[in-house]
DNA sequence: ACCTGTCAAGTCTGG
DNA sequence: CCAGACTTGACAGGT
């Protein structure tokens, strides 16, 4: 069984390579309006070219997964920038980025921020969420990447009634265009919607589920991971890429929900021991403050466990 | 060179 | 009902 690893957004090894450079409206308001567009355009270009550097670096280090930041284009979905035609202005840049994605063979994804909520009772929040999803989807399309490149979402808020909120999630989802629907995959969260909840929704909608094993510890399902992992991975049937899980460790016993700088190898190995023999290949997205450094350290730490057959730069065989 | 406050967003809690 | 916490990284401005 082969497992490939990746990390989120920022490389701690590469210097001057932020994929996240931004500007706020408050600061733009201090300068003349005539330079607003050139300012955000310049930052977006820097972000895209830094992402290209990151992808090439990932390839060189054998890192096969990478999550884009949601802030590639500053203020892309801000009402003040509705007139700004970033799709055409940055077309060439995204085409180049897409070529590098294909050339490096890295499985890229996005994870919209926590204000993207398909089950909000507020129409405005839903409308803004759809705009944000359109932005993410459009970037993939400009890169020329097929629907196997996914957008990971949570179910959303609870709003005092889980049943109603899940119903509203279905309603929100049904309002999405097919091009967006075909990229959405869902993840269990650390407070509200458990592995079981999300699995049930994914089965109903016939879309893949990302299992976050740390979230399942914070917000446990009534059934153990071992009992459901096969069903979770079955939601990926027919997909081009293998199932994906998220891996992180708690910052401390008191701050269990916060991410640690690194990954606790004991916890991950315990998970592997539980599911060994039940699944085929899968991918692991590491969510740790030290990003790629955490990944590299985990690979190093894994060398102390005998049952792992082979350890690569960012992959293992069990 | 470092530190603090601000920004952007929506939900939820506590008073 | 409203203020603050939560989350995350970048950045502005002050020391």
Out of A101-105, A251-255, A305-309, least confident range: A251-255
Instruction: Find, among A94, A35, A61, the residue nearest to A296 by Cα.
Output: A61
- Map out the domains of chain A as residue ranges: 2-317
Residues around strand C, C-beta < 7 Å? A 8-10, 18, 20-23, 27, 30, 43, 114, 257-259, 289
Per-residue pLDDT at A307 exceeds 90? no
> What secondary structure, in 3-state letters, does chain A show?
CEEEEEEECCCCCCCCCCCCCCCCHHHHCCCCHHHHHHHHHHHHHHHHHHHHHHHHHHHHCCCCEEECCCCCCCCCCCHHHCCCCHHHHCHHHHHHHHHHHHHHCCEEEECCCCCCCCCCCCHHHHHHHHHHHHHHHHHHHHCCCCCCCCEEECCCCCCCCHHHHHHHHHHHHHCCCHHHHCCEEEECCCCCCCHHHHHHHHHHHCCCEEEEHHHHHHCCCCCCHHHHHHHHHHCCCCCCCCCEEEECCECCCCCCCCECCCCCHHHHHHHHHHHCCCCCCEEEEECCCCHHHHHHHHHHHHCCCCCCCEECCCEEEC
| A14-26 pLDDT, tens digit each | 998 999 999 999 8
Lowest mean pLDDT among A16-25, A96-105, A239-248, A252-261: A252-261
What pTM was estimated for this model as a whole? 0.96
Determine if strand B comes within 7 Å of the CB of A122: yes
Q: What is the pLDDT of residue A252?
A: 87
A82 touches strand B (CB under 7 A): no
Q: Return the pLDDT at A90.
A: 96
CA→C1' distance for A190 and C7 (Å): 13
pLDDT at A109 over 90: yes
Place of tokens 């460790």: A249
Measure A15 CA to B1 C1' (Å). Answer: 18
Question: φ, ψ for residue A65 (rounded to 5)?
Answer: -130, 150
Mean pLDDT across A234-241: 98
Q: Which residues contact A83 (CB under 8 A, 6 or more apart)?
A: none
Q: Which nucleotide is nearest to A24 (CA to C1')?
A: B7
**Strand B: which positions are within 7 A of a protein CB?**
6-12
At the second CATH level, the architecture of A2-317 is Alpha-Beta Barrel (3.20)
Whether nucleic acid strand B comes within 7 Å of the CB of A26, the answer is yes
d(Cα A286, Cα A5) in Å, to the nearest integer?
A: 7
A28 contact to strand B (CB, 7 A limit) = no
A32-86: pLDDT as tens digits: 988 999 999 999 999 999 999 999 999 999 999 999 999 999 999 998 898 999 9
Q: Which nucleotide is nearest to A9 (CA to C1')?
A: C9
Nucleotide whose C1' lies closest to the alpha carbon of residue A79: B8
Q: Distance (Å) from CA A29 to C1' B6?
A: 14
């Amino acid at each position: 069984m082969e497992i490939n690893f990746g990390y989120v957004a920022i490389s701690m090894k590469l210097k001057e390579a932020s994929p996240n450079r931004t500007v706020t409206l408050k600061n733009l308001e201090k300068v003349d309006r005539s330079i607003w567009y050139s300012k955000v355009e310049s930052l977006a270009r820097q972000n895209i070219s830094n992402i290209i550097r990151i992808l090439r670096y990932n390839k060189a280090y054998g890192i096969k997964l990478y999550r884009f930041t949601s802030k590639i284009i500053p203020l892309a979905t801000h009402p003040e920038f509705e007139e700004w035609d970033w799709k055409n202005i940055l077309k060439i840049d995204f085409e180049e980025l897409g070529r590098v994605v294909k050339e490096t063979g890295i499985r890229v994804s996005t994870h919209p921020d926590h204000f993207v909520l398909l089950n909000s009772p507020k129409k405005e929040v839903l409308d803004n969420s759809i705009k944000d999803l359109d932005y993410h989807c459009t970037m993939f399309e400009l890169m020329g990447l097929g629907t196997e490149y996914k957008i990971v979402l949570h179910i959303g808020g609870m709003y005092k009634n889980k049943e109603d909120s899940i119903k509203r999630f279905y309603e929100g989802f049904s309002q999405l265009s097919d091009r967006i629907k075909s990229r959405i995959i869902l993840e269990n969260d650390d407070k509200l919607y458990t592995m079981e909840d999300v699995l049930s929704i994914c089965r109903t909608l016939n879309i893949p589920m990302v299992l976050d094993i740390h979230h399942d510890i914070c917000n446990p399902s009534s059934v153990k991971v071992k009992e459901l992992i096969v069903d979770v991975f079955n939601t990926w049937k027919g997909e081009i890429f293998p199932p994906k899980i998220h891996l992180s460790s708690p910052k401390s016993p008191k701050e269990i929900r916060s991410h640690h700088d690194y990954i606790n190898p004991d916890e991950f190995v315990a998970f592997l021991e539980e599911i060994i023999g039940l699944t085929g290949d899968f991918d692991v997205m590491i969510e740790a403050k030290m990003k790629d450094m955490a990944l590299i350290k985990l690979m190093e730490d894994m060398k102390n466990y005998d049952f792992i057959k082979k350890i690569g730069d960012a992959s293992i065989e069990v």
